[in-house]
Structure 1
Amino acid sequence: MTSSVINFDKKYPLVSIVMPTLNQLRFIRKSIHSVLSQDYNFIELIVFDAGSTDGTLDFLNEISKTDRRLKWKSEPDFGPADALNKAFKICRGEIIGWLNSDDLYAPGAVNRAVTEFKSHPDWIMLYGHAEHIDVDGHLIDFYKTKEPNERPLKEFADGCFICQPTVFFKSTFLILQGKLNVNLKTAFDFDYWIRAFRSFPNRIGFVDHVQAQSRLHKDCITFSQRKLVFIESMGLIVKYIGDPPVHWLITYVDELHKGRSLLSLGELKSELIGILNAISPQPSHTGIQKFMQLINQLK
């Protein structure tokens, strides 16, 4: 599967959608359908599979024979960020989206993104509203999205306000922004959005519409790797922004108690100190120091 140079149609620019996957046959059918059933036909869907053994490859082969907009490849990778970087490299589209194989595009999402980019030629990236759905596709709640404002980096300190599947960006953004950080296993998207707002604070737009549905289930990164999500996200806040809010520590304590039987005070202190050392081995930031003080005051 190779890329080629194409002449972009200014009226109907090609949109490339990349989709990393591994053993998600139960979800990928609907995810692919949500892409190929969009009311915007100038789409290529690039699926990068990491070696599925659940029938996903047979399904991809079947669909690609009937819809040439779907291209796919299966090979080992070093995680989702690595697969995405490989997929981005062969995208031919002027506009690029990224949809995980358990998430869904809302009807009309691609058309709305294209329309907004045409209306705002200075925009290099955009995102929109999203819904959380469960394993069966039922609505859980709405993602806590925030529109771009004058202090976006400070807003990131409270958490990621961009729902990943709602994001679209121009191909030039990839050249300027660079690759996803493959050293991050869970928060590579959070890192990417922070870097984007640091580099292009006035060139990121917003679609005031539900653009996607993000599926929450026991195997998704958000739930299955909560500890690592916390460590990596907090580390990014310390790296790019500064003092992290105390609520991060409180949230993590809640997660510890949800995941196991009641911890002893000694176990709790040990767990939290280990987390904070992983986030910042040199606790020079005021926020980290405050966390340490709170832990030492536990009785």
Structure 2
Amino acid sequence: MSRSALPLVSVITPSYNQGKFIRETIDSILSQDYPNLEHIVVDGGSTDETVSILQEYASKDPRFRYVSEPDNGQSHAINKGLAMARGEIIGWLNSDDTYLPGAVRKAVQYLQSQPACGMVHGQCEVIDEAGVPFSTFASEKADAQNLYQSCVVCQPSAFIRTHVFRQMGGVDEKLNFCMDYDLWMRIAKVHTIGFIPDFLANTRLHGSCKSATQWHSVGVPEVLRSLAKNYSSIPSHWVSHLSQYRSMGVIDLLRQLKTLRSNSSRITGMNRYRDLWAPPILRVTLESESTARAQLLLVKGKVPGAPMQLPKAFSLTALVNGRLAKTFTVTKAQFALEIPLDTANQVNRIDLASTSMIQPAVPQIDGLRVGGYLAEEVLPLNHEEAIIYQAFRQ
């Protein structure tokens, strides 16, 4: 079959300061036995030897092209490459991973034989810094049900029809770690995902890669956010596996998630004292982005010096935008309130009135306190964040 009769495959490689590995990545693509492909490297302005390597390949192989300029990270680079791609099928190979011989040909043959499939993936070897295999990725046939349980697609082995990738709007640029897993979830909702039980690629695990350095700080919060976004729940095994986030510990997880996103709801005004003591009426104003409206206001409170069970209960009444939202009875020294917000509004004003008049036993920064409790944490939660909190609060 002539080259022109075969679909063009565009392989996208996001890159930044991976000069140590990128030559091996490029060679694994350009040496494929599939004749109709192009390789696009989207480099974020590397300062190591990467750019000189890219210039070398661009000067000698017409199938290779690149851009090197500052970008907003890996997800942005992938979407830039998607916009540049001319092919009918997209391969996505990071700048420290490699294809195995025959990978592109096998993927194209499968997609040609299975027109209902929106993408296909295969098995992956896990290699070390020197390129030596030491494990295999647990790949299997993927659908919406088993992707809910875990990521069974190893990204270097995935090939996606271009129209499907574009239909999804590319990868989510708010994600820096699990943008691939999130993409598979979204694709599985509307397309069949094929599986080739052959090894197609190598994924490299080394000391400086994100999988080794950012799993707990970035990976876990982003995976949970993606599950909440796509399924509106968190699988029970994630909750049991991450037991350190149960109960009040989930606050740390939510706080970390908020630092990773630019469109979280934000508090624009609050009359809580500097020492965290709440006045008799705690007033909070918060604003949300239109695409991520706040759903709950979480207030984590504490009655200082009180025993675990309060000798006398007190109540907290929440008004949202002047309307009664909920009344809470506080019986324990530590408590958490979930105040439902008005999701129709981007701005919410909350008044939380206390019936307690406990006076602090220690001197305070701003004088007398009579609100009865410390408002240790005041966090607005959007839909996804509320799902994560509720999953781990038990």
Normalising by structure 2, what TM-score? 0.63
CA contact (8 A) 2:247 2:392 kept: no
| Alignment correspondent of 1:274 | 252
TM-fit CA distance, 1:218 = 1.9
- Cα 1:271–1:140 change in 2 (3 A) is farther
| Alignment correspondent of 2:200 | 211
Structure 2 CA distance for aligned equivalents of residues 272 and 224 of structure 1: 21
Out of 121, 126, 129, the position equivalent to 1:127 is 121
Structure 1 CA distance for aligned equivalents of residues 52 and 87 of structure 2: 26
CA offset digits 1:122-176 (Å, max 9, x no partner):
222111111111111111211111213xxx3332232211111111112221332
CA contact (8 A) 2:157 2:201 kept: yes
Structure 1 CA distance for aligned equivalents of residues 203 and 162 of structure 2: 24
Taking the TM superposition and a 5 Å limit, the aligned residue runs for 1:188-267 are 188-200=179-191, 203-226=192-215, 227-249=217-239, 251-252=241-242
Structure 2 CA distance for aligned equivalents of residues 28 and 10 of structure 1: 29
**5+ long unaligned stretches in structure 1:** 1-7, 257-267, 294-299
Is 1:24 aligned with 2:13? no
| Alignment correspondent of 2:132 | 138
Taking the TM superposition and a 5 Å limit, the aligned residue runs for 1:1-299 are 11-148=5-142, 152-200=143-191, 203-226=192-215, 227-249=217-239, 251-252=241-242, 272-276=250-254, 281=381, 285=387, 288-289=389-390, 291-293=392-394
Structure 1 CA distance for aligned equivalents of residues 248 and 70 of structure 2: 36
SS at structure 1 position matched to 2:160: strand
- Cα 1:146–1:77 change in 2 (3 A) is same
CA contact (8 A) 1:154 1:241 kept: no
Equivalent residue letter for 1:275: L
SS at structure 2 position matched to 1:174: helix
Structure 2 CA distance for aligned equivalents of residues 62 and 177 of structure 1: 34
Equivalent residue letter for 2:13: M
TM-fit CA distance, 1:269 = 7.5
TM-fit CA distance, 1:81 = 0.8
User: Which moved further from structure 2: 212-221 or 106-115?
Assistant: 212-221
Tell which has more relative contact order, 1 or 2 (C-alpha 8 A, sep 6+). 1
SS at structure 1 position matched to 2:5: coil
Structure 1 CA distance for aligned equivalents of residues 105 and 22 of structure 2: 22
TM-fit CA distance, 1:224 = 1.6
TM-fit CA distance, 1:252 = 4.6
Structure 2 CA distance for aligned equivalents of residues 176 and 157 of structure 1: 21
CA contact (8 A) 1:156 1:237 kept: no
Structure 2 CA distance for aligned equivalents of residues 252 and 217 of structure 1: 24
**5+ long unaligned stretches in structure 2:** 258-295, 297-380
CA contact (8 A) 2:43 2:66 kept: yes
TM-fit CA distance, 1:245 = 3.1
Q: Which structure's residues are more often strand, by fraction?
A: 2
The structure with more radius of gyration: 2
Equivalent residue letter for 1:104: T
Structure 2 CA distance for aligned equivalents of residues 76 and 270 of structure 1: 40
- Provide the alpha-carbon RMSD of the alignment: 2.4
CA offset digits 1:9-43 (Å, max 9, x no partner):
67322111010100001110111111011111211
Equivalent residue letter for 2:218: L
Moved over 4 A (4+): 249-254, 268-272, 276-280, 282-285
CA contact (8 A) 2:75 2:176 kept: yes
- Fraction of identical pairs, as percent: 35
TM-fit CA distance, 1:67 = 1.3
Structure 1 CA distance for aligned equivalents of residues 213 and 130 of structure 2: 18
